[in-house]
């Protein structure tokens, strides 16, 4: 899509009637189904299958819902939905949204046939909930995507690819029905020699490795994925072999190979991840504000003290600023406008760091109560930290923004 595609679609803060109705519907589910279950599933550190099933029953966890919001003309459907889900709880929210990254990787880079075949299998249906997983990071390749060692070797006679390697920090890793794996086809070309592969359900050789016990987002399953001679049909190469061969030929000749598939997936997802962080931050802000209005010390509500009121003022300004950057980036992406100043990275950087800061300030306002598990702000603070780490650390976002601002190869 060209930089000017959709240039006539003006940015507006006035959400459409459909998006407003959807926001109320998702918020109701978050308040009635997610929040009451949040503490239990955080303690259990397990995928909240009953909540996913409830969401599937009403169409909230479905390909149709995600596709409708992803294609919403203003680009604000997904950010608005994710803010409400994560306002409910980040761990359960990520369980509901976790299949989205795998879906985006196929929808953004795959053929129409691949989209039609595999995306439905990442969500399933009521009574048969399914999951997708996007496998990029490795033990020695986190922020440095070019260091990926997982290999994909093509067997032309059988028209099959064989995958070998270990992936880590995979949301839904090993329990997903469909895994999308980033692998190196030509290691000497580093990131430009990589491609993504769909691993169908039940494929021999794919197994879950270590399941991680995490600081936060504990209701979301995170694990290693081990690939031991995993053979997938040629049609499972995302985008198809002709497209891959053309790209690799250009790279070998010294030309540009286009943006690497994993990086395209991360860039497309950054405003969505930013919206998740905004939801967590907003939850903490609202809770702390209400607490400050009712908690009485020295004969008056603590919110009457400038120290607390000024803290809340900064929290409110930060949350609103993060949302504005998120909406701008999401709108630009939907209109096909290039992130010429790394607007996607800006949204994730500011929203992620806002979530960490605002949840910490919420604990401070609640004092000792905020430090206990009897109140939700300590959980929100644990959850918030991930937004400065996954899908590109804050340091990586600053590097990308720095490159866009200076025009230099900042490292």
CB 166 within 8 A of CB 139: yes
Cβ-based burial of 235 (10 A; exposed 0-12, middle 13-18, buried ≥19): middle
**Separation of alpha carbons 362 and 377, rounded Å:** 7
* C-alpha Rg value of the chain to the nearest Å: 22
- Interhelix angle 377-384/90-97, rounded to 10 degrees, is 50
224 part of the active site: no
Could you tell me where the DSSP H helices lie in 119-260? 241-252
Contacts of 40 (CB under 8 A, 6+ apart): none
DSSP β-ladder status, 160-171 and 151-155: antiparallel
Quickly count: other Cβ atoms within 10 Å of residue 151's Cβ.
16
Between CA 104 and CA 109 the distance in angstroms is 8
Torsion of CA 178, 182, 186, 191, to 10 degrees: 160
Instruction: Report the phi/psi class of residue 217: left, alpha or beta, with left for phi > 0 and alpha for psi in -120 to 50.
Output: left
Q: Which residues are catalytic?
A: 391
């Amino acid at each position: 899509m060209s930089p000017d595609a959709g240039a006539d679609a003006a940015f507006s803060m006035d959400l459409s009637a459909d998006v407003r109705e959807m926001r109320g519907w998702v918020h109701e589910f978050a308040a009635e189904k997610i929040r009451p279950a949040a503490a239990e599933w955080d303690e259990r550190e397990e995928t909240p299958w009953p909540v996913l099933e409830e969401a599937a029953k009403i169409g909230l966890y479905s390909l149709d819902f995600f596709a409708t919001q992803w294609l919403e003309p203003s680009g604000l459907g997904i950010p608005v939905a994710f803010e409400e889900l994560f306002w409910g709880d980040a761990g359960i929210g990520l369980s509901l949204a976790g299949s989205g990254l795998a879906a985006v990787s196929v929808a953004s880079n795959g053929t129409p046939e691949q989209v039609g075949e595999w995306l439905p299998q990442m969500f399933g249906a009521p009574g048969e909930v399914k999951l997708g997983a996007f496998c990029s990071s490795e033990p020695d390749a986190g922020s440095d995507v070019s260091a990926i060692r997982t290999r994909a070797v093509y067997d032309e006679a059988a028209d099959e690819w064989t995958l070998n390697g270990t992936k880590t920090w995979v949301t839904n890793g090993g329990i997903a029905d469909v895994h999308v794996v980033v692998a190196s086809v030509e290691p000497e070309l580093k990131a430009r020699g990589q491609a993504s592969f769909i691993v169908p359900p039940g494929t021999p050789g794919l197994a879950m490795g270590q399941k991680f016990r995490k600081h936060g987002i504990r209701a979301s399953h995170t694990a290693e994925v081990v690939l031991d001679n995993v053979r997938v049909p040629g049609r499972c190469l995302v985008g198809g072999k002709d497209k891959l061969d053309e790209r690799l030929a250009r790279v070998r000749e010294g030309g540009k190979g286009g943006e690497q598939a994993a990086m395209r997936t991360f860039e497309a997802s950054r405003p969505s991840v930013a919206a998740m962080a905004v939801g967590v931050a907003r939850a903490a802000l609202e809770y702390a504000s209400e607490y400050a209005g009712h908690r009485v010390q020295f004969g008056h509500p603590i919110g009457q003290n400038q120290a607390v009121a000024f803290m809340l003022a900064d929290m409110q300004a930060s949350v609103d600023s993060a949302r504005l950057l998120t909406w701008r980036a999401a709108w630009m992406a939907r209109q096909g406008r290039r992130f010429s100043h790394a607007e996607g990275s800006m949204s994730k950087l500011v929203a992620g760091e806002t979530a960490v800061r605002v949840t910490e300030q919420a604990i401070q306002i609640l004092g000792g109560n905020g430090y206990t598990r009897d109140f939700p702000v300590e959980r929100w603070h644990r959850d918030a930290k991930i937004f400065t780490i996954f899908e590109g650390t804050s340091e990586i976002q600053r590097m990308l923004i720095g490159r866009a601002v200076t025009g230099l190869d900042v490292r």
